[in-house]
Amino acid sequence: MNRINQKLQEDRKLLSIYFTAGFPQINDTVSIIQELEKNGVDMIEIGLPFSDPLADGPTIQESSTIAIENGMTTSLLFEQLKDIRKTVQIPLIIMGYFNPMMQFGIEKFCQKCAEVGIDGLIIPDLPLFVYETEYKAIFEQYNLKNIFLISPQNSEERIQQIDAISDSFIYMVSSAAVTGSQSGFGSAQMDYFKRISNLNLKNPQIVGFGIKDEETFEQATKYQKGAIIGSAFINFLKENPISDISKFIDSIIKKSRA
């Protein structure tokens, strides 16, 4: 069974952390992954930096720019991750945009993911129809879960389509804003979380965009299986050493897992 599906079966709310590969320093990728797992994170989204990140707010855009300036490439990421499964057991997901994957070669990219132990991909700009008709078979050949995004603007019909083709979890965007721009969840967002929960989809949902502390993590997981933190963690890495990651994670989940 894919590691993502195994993790989703656990009887607790899941914390997924996003960071940009090659940020803050070019060779920080493996150390950050190991430190996150050691401190109780359930899944990790490794951002593949791209020069035109549509859904990312200024914090993640800046981290991508720095990572690219540091020299991060797709090939280098796979080189950094080649031995990651000797030390790390939790699910690892690459989040990135389709252009760099196409440039690398889709099947070659999927093959390298399988070789290093990547469990899934989040590609915000890969349309559902294109995935289904052109790439689904390749992803499945390499046991990669393709994780689709839904937002408050999606119709129920569209959400049901995404649920039907998905086979792990659905990335539930909390609002129409870009990443890192929220300051907490209001009644409209909580109503949205509840509405999606009431659809009883076959795939659990994990909420992203706007989760930054214990309060927003608890709000985001009231009705959903888990939550993703990206911009707040990138900001932490700007100001703190990797060895202090435990402080950040404890501030989110320590009470809930005591």
Q: Which residues are catalytic?
A: 45, 56
**Nearest to 93, CA basis, from 19, 161, 177:** 19
Q: Tell how far CA 77 is from the center of its chain.
A: 16
Q: Is the peptide bond before 49 cis (omega within 30 degrees of 0)?
A: no
Q: What is the CA radius of gyration of the chain?
A: 17
Say whether the peptide bond before residue 24 is cis (omega within 30 degrees of 0): yes
CA atoms within 13 A on the CB side of 168: 27
Q: Of 223, 212, 152, 202, nearest to 181 (Cα)?
A: 212
Tokens of 231: 């911009």
How far apart, in whole angstroms, are the C-alpha atoms of residue 41 and residue 141?
28
